[in-house]
Amino acid sequence: MKQKSVIISGTGSYVPEKIMTNDDMSKIVDTSDEWIFTRSGIKERRIAAPDQAVSDMALKAAQRALEAAELKPSDIDLVIVATVNPDMMFPSSACLLQSKLGIRNNIPCFDIEAACSGFVYEVEIATRMMQSGHYKNALVVGAEKLSNMINWEDRTTCVLFGDGAGAVVLTLVDEENVGVLDTVLGADGSESMILSIPAGGSAMPTSADTVAQNMHSIRMDGKEVFKRAVKIMQEKAFEVCDRCGVSPDKLSLLIPHQANARIIESVAKRLNLPPEKVFMNLHKYGNTSSASIPIALDEVVRTRGIKKGEYILFVAFGAGLTWGATLVKWH
């Protein structure tokens, strides 16, 4: 039986207006532009307004993706939002986004939480749901307000993260071997505590003590995360290419999770990809977790474009520990 394909029919992104530079950071913690940039590749990041929720940023990115796909909200029959910082514990940010878009038809809407790997995870979920034949157009969004989750006294983490949202519209088409070709996903929960937010869940409910001890903010063993990210992102990039029978030299572009320039450069070197085939924009936005790949993809589409038939590789690594890689043949 002929297998239908799922293509990316539209992209959109949104980042808040407020820019916080490395020099701005140096006024908050003991750091400098040189210290931050040489260790991460980040120059600035965007910070959401106090009254801006994840669903608000997701809405703007989604509207732009729908416009690019030349679709109306009523054409969407599946909504997935990847985020580590939803508007509230429930309802899901996807349901709130559905309401803000004015989608009244009876469709599934839900959030997933796979941290920085969230976008790759949700693309795989949506693709397999769509290939069941029950869904034609899916809205897939990565959106984060990480500025809410930072300990602004911890210079090792507060300089790394930013806010924003990226969205894609996925469309089921009656063709084979185009669009999302394959995805590899994985996780290792035994290493979960090297990147975590300890408090706020059922294991450690919110209390005056957890707030006072900054246990609701990101804690990270940077050296261990770096070491594992480099190894696993390289492995999964090769694995998904091998599964699709596409050698890395056939890639037109690598769009990795935007966490650290040295991680990205190491992965690109292992794949033997020249700089012009590797997209980085973390110098402008920092690490926006699940939003980073769709924000980067939208920037690529709107600035340099992607030609039909070109192979694009997404690869990510995040808390969980989670990871994933997706190979796309542009349609």
Predicted confidence (pLDDT) at residue 183 exceeds the cutoff of 90: yes
Predicted confidence (pLDDT) at residue 104 exceeds the cutoff of 90: no
**Portion of the chain with pLDDT greater than 90, in percent:** 98
**Portion of the chain with pLDDT greater than 70, in percent:** 100
**Domains of the chain: residue spans and CATH:** 5-176 (3.40.47.10), 180-285+295-329 (3.40.47.10)
Query: Mean pLDDT over residues 234-238, rounded?
Result: 98
Chain mean pLDDT for the chain: 97
pLDDT given for residue 3 in this prediction: 86
pLDDT given for residue 2 in this prediction: 77
**Length of the chain as a residue count:** 331
Question: 64-82 burial, b for 16+ CB within 10 Å, e for fewer?
Answer: bbbebbebebebbbbbbbb
pLDDT given for residue 1 in this prediction: 64
Predicted confidence (pLDDT) at residue 149 exceeds the cutoff of 90: yes
Query: Mean pLDDT over residues 20-48, rounded?
Result: 97
Return the active site residues: 116, 257, 287
Query: Mean pLDDT over residues 185-204, rounded?
Result: 96
Tokens of 93: 């940010």
Amino acid at 203: A
Residue with tokens 């969004």: 141
